[in-house]
Amino acid sequence: MHHTGYQPDTAVLIGAGNAIDGPLQKGLQRVGFRVQLLGLEQIAAAPLGIREGSLVINAASCAGSARMHEARAVCEALRNQPCAALLHLSSYGVFGRARSRKIDEETAPEPSSEIGRHWLDCERILTGSSPAEYGVSILRLGWQVDRSERALLARVIRGLLNHKPVTLDDVSRGNPVTVADLVRVAVAMAQQLASGAPKSGIYHYGAADNCSAMEFGREVVDRVRSLYGEDYAADLRPVEPAPEDRSSVLSCERLRDVFGIQQRSWRQGLTRQVELWLERLQKAES
C-alpha cells in the first residue's frame, strides 16, 4: 500500500447515521486514509475501541435533535480517548440571537433553542473551557441544506413534486453548507491535522455568499426547471407574519489563515445535488 505520509494514517469516523457518513468515509479514503466507521449505537452502548494515536472525526452531533442523548454519550466517551487529533463537527446553532455582523470564533456562544444548547453541550463536554487543553479542533458549520429529508433542499423539491406550497423564511440570512462542501473542508482539515497542523482550535465554515431560505429555494426551483423543463411550478411563500431576524453568518477567516481552506459558493455543485435528491424522492414516492 502506498504510504501517504499521514501520522496517523488511520481515521476513525464517528458517523451521524445520515447523508453525511458515506461521502465523508469515501472522501477520507480517496486521499489515502484507512477509515474505521463507527455508528452512534456502537459507541453509546459499549466502551470505545479506538486505537491509541488515531485521528478521530466526530460527526455524531450532526445526527439531529432526535439523537441528542446518543451524541452526548459519544462526546463523553471521546473525552478521555488517547487519540492523536480530534475533529468535532459542530454548528452555527450555538449562536442564538440575530446579529448584524459576521460571527467570528471569539463571539461567545449564546444558544436560544434546545438543539443549539445540544450543540454547545457537546462542544463543552469535549473541551471544558479550553480546546487547547484537550487537543480538540471544533468546526462550526453554517446551515446544512441537504443532509436529511427534512433539510431545506428536500423540502423544496418535495413541494415541487407534490405540487404543494413551501413556506420559507425570507428575513434571516446564513451561509449554507452542502454535504459535498462539508466533506471537502473536513477532509482537508483531517489531512493537515495528520501532517502537523495545530491540533486544537475553534473554526467556522460556511459558503462565501450568504442567503435567506427563500433565496435558496428560488435557486433550487431554477435548477429543477433547467433540468426538467418549465412544467415544474413552485409555490414558495414567505412566513407570515415576518419572523424575527435570526441571521447567523459565520466569519471563516481563521480556517483560511490556519488551514488555507477557501470558501466556495453554495451554488457550486447545486445542480448535481438537485439531481440526486430528485432521484431519491421520486424513488421513495413511486
Span 195-206, pLDDT tens digits: 989 999 999 999
Query: Quick check: 285 pLDDT over 70?
Result: no
Looking at per-residue pLDDT, the higher value among 82 and 169 belongs to 169
Domains of the chain, first to last:
10-144+176-208+250-265 (3.40.50.720)
Question: What confidence score (pLDDT) does residue 98 get?
Answer: 60
Q: Which of 76-80, 116-120, 133-137, 226-230 has the highest mean pLDDT?
A: 116-120
- How far is it, in rounded angstroms, from Cα 194 to Cα 89? 17
**β-bridge mates for residue 168, sequence order:** 238
Query: Quick check: 44 pLDDT over 60?
Result: no
Question: What confidence score (pLDDT) does residue 19 get?
Answer: 85
Question: What confidence score (pLDDT) does residue 100 get?
Answer: 60
DSSP-assigned letters across all residues of the chain: ------SS-EEEEE--SSTTHHHHHHHHHHTT-EEEEE-HHHHHHS---PPTT-EEEE-GGGG-GGGHHHHHHHHHHHTT---SEEEEEEEGGGB-S--SS-B-TTSPPB--SHHHHHHHHHHHHHHTT-HHHHTEEEEEE--BSSSSTTSHHHHHHHHHHHT--EEE-SS-EE--B-HHHHHHHHHHHHHHHTTT--S-EEEEE--SS-EEHHHHHHHHHHHHHHHH-TT----EEE-SSPPP---B-B--HHHHHHH-PPP--TTTTHHHHHHHHHHHHHHHH-
Q: In angstroms, how far apart are the furthest CA atoms of the chain? A: 60
Question: What confidence score (pLDDT) does residue 1 get?
Answer: 44
Query: Quick check: 7 pLDDT over 90?
Result: no
Query: Quick check: 96 pLDDT over 90?
Result: no
Contact 194, 251 (CB under 8 A): no
Query: Quick check: 217 pLDDT over 80?
Result: yes
Question: What confidence score (pLDDT) does residue 262 get?
Answer: 97
Mean pLDDT of 246-275: 93
Question: How would you label 12-22 residue by residue, b for 16+ Cβ within 10 Å and e otherwise?
Answer: bbbbbbbbbbe
Band (pLDDT 50/70/90 cuts) for residue 39 is confident
